[in-house]
Every structure is written in C-alpha cells, then in structure tokens.
Amino acid sequence: MKILSALLLLFTLAFAEVIELTNKNFDDVVLKSGKYTLVKFYADWCSHCKRMNPEYEKLAEELKPKSDLIQIAAIDANKYSKYMKVYDIDGFPTMKLFTPKDISHPIEFSGSRDSESFLNFLESTTGLKLKKKAEVNEPSLVQSIDDSTIDDLVGKDRFIAVTASWCGYCKRLHPEWEKLAKAFGNDDIVIGNVVTDVVEGENIKAKYKVQSFPTILYFTAGSDEPIRYESPDRTVEGLVKFVNEQAGLFRDPDGTLNFNAGLIPGVSDKLTNYIKEKDQSLLESTLDLLSNHEHIKDKFSVKYHKKVIEKLLKGENEFLNNEVERLSKMLNTKLSANNSDSVIKRLNILRNFIEAKTESKPQLLHQEL
C-alpha cells in the first residue's frame, strides 16, 4: 500500500502543474518535501475559486522550471474539512504559503488573485528570484511598406520582399531579412517588407506581377523598374552579396565593411603599392582624375584619397604609416557604427598605397550601434 501511495505521489508531481492534495498525500507533499508550497484551500461550489483557477494554473506553469524549490498545490477543504480547523480557514479561496523553515506556521496571501500578484508575494516571502527575465526584442530595422507608402521611397535604393503571413517560405525568410536590415542599417538603403494579407498591397502585387511568395524586388534610387532577386539562396550571405552588387556597397553579413570599402574602381588600383614606385606623376594624374569623379556616391572616399595624395606630393611619406598606426588603435576602442565605417575606409585606402591589396580586413574589436 505504501509503494502504491508513493507511486501515486510521483505521478501527481510529474504530470500535474497544480498538485491536487488529499488527506493521503498532504503531509508528504506539503510538510515533508522540504520545498516552499503555496496551497489553495477551496470548495468545489465556490464561484470565486473557479474564477481564479486560470490565474492559479498560469502561476503553476510559470514556476515549473523552479519545481525543485517551490510547488503550487490545492486542496478541496470542504471535502477534507479537518484542514480548515488546523490552518484556520474561514473562507474560500484561501491561499497559504508553507515554508521549510517554519512549516507549522504558513503565511496567508491577501493580495489580488492574479498570477502577477501571486509571484510578487512568493518572491517577497521566499527571497527566490521567480520571475522570468523579460525578453528584450531589438526593434526591427525592416520597414513595413504598403500601397500608400511605396512611392514615397523612390528616392532611395529599396530591397523589398513581398510576402504573406501564412507563407512558409516567407516565415523562413523573415530572420534572414532582419539580419540583412541590420547589416545595412548604416547605409542609405531601405530593406522593406510588404505583408500582403496584413497591409494594403493589392496595387503592389498587380503592378509588379507578384504571382508567388516571397517575391523579392530591388529598386535603384529614382527608378520604378525592379530587378528581381531570382537566386534560391535566401540566406543573409546571399542577400548581402546581391545588395552589395546592386548598390555598390561593401558590407559583410555581420554589417562590418570588407577590405574593398573606400577604394574607388579605376582610381585606387592605379595607386596600389605606390610606396614602392614613388611615381609623383602618377599622384598628380590621379588627383586630376579624382577632380572629375563627382558622380561617385562615396564622397568621403574621394575626399580622403585627395588628402592622402596631397600629403604625399608634399613629401610627407611618414603620414601613411603614422596614420595606419593611429587608426588601428582606434579600432580597439568603442566606436559608433558611423565612426567604425570611417576608420575602416581610411585604413583600406592607406594600406592600398602601402601594399598590394590582400584578402584581409581591419578587425573591429568593439562596435556600438
């Protein structure tokens, strides 16, 4: 009989979140377990008891991970009436916390009958940390787009996924799309999403002949003609590579700049390994070339190339190594995203003068977004 009772107790503890007590298991569960035990004394006819059941069950569910320390139980005190006299129960529902240190003198709960109030009571009386840490979700950098807003973005490059909330492929794309938006969070490019069954998107679907989900479209600034992303590679790596190609950017999937950032095609390659050649005429001709490159988007890189060339034309060759050393030290400090981009571009440009281009890039040790 004792073995059967023990098995029944184990079954109750393993499969019930709110442990249902009887006169047979009360002592073992409450008085001998060595755990904190919150007991609800109720009557099956009590409407207040029934109304609080969902909150009490929610409490038990939340405390499941802490079941080695604390347990949530209930007993029909109307049926097992001896406990009403022992624990001074004069109304239903009554909740009392039994503590291992003073099991004979349970502490009565007197707050609101909701899971949050129960948790506050249990934390304050037991000293245990019972509440789950609130998950901090980073705000999405993906811009929600609909029929009324898409035309407002025509002045920027846009990479837009046309999706539906029920679409399995779209759901798998979602985390990669969020990573993509984060990678280009420091660039003037829109990573957008049209969830057609959530926002008004019928005009977008008709205009761009969307026949399946997801349909992924790239628009260059000023253009209303999309380039369709047809690749089966919908990982952030594949998506970043495509955006780099279309926008002339140099991001890695983690958002840092790669070794080509800051270099200007047709200009920087002329200056590669200049420090060995020391051809002044090459510097002068390149400076003239830069003056005619007003169409280059990256004005910062044009300006910095000019600065370096002017330093070299003045004979300040030590500027190159001194500046590389100074900027490299900056990468070991906390930098904003804008500052880290600036430093990496300058280092790429300087190193291009000093040595042939390699497949490595400056290592950013600390970055604050």
- pLDDT for 297-341, tens place per residue? 778 899 999 999 999 889 888 898 999 999 999 988 888 888 999
Q: Which domains are assigned to the chain?
A: 2-126 (3.40.30.10), 143-247 (3.40.30.10), 268-354 (1.20.1150)
CA–CA distances in Å: residue 339 to residues 49, 154, 167, 360: 61, 28, 39, 20
Phi-psi region of 167 (alpha: psi -120 to 50; beta: other; left: phi over 0): beta
Q: Nearest to residue 184, comparing CAs of 238, 230, 229, 142?
A: 142
Question: Do 31 and 95 touch, CB atoms closer than 8 A?
Answer: no
If you count them, how many residues does the chain have? 369
pLDDT at residue 289, as a whole number:
81
Amino acid letter for position 286:
T
Alpha-carbon gap, residue 138 to 119, rounded angstroms? 27
- pLDDT for 262-279, tens place per residue? 988 877 777 776 666 677
Active site residues: 46, 49, 167, 170
pLDDT along the chain (369 residues), means of 10: 44 62 96 96 95 94 93 96 94 96 94 90 92 73 96 96 92 96 95 94 96 96 96 96 94 93 83 71 83 75 91 89 92 87 93 63 38
pLDDT at residue 291, as a whole number:
79
Statement: the pTM of the whole predicted model exceeds 0.85: no
Question: Do 120 and 170 touch, CB atoms closer than 8 A?
Answer: no
Most distant CA pair in the chain: distance in Å? 104
Alpha-carbon gap, residue 197 to 201, rounded angstroms? 8
pLDDT at residue 136, as a whole number:
65
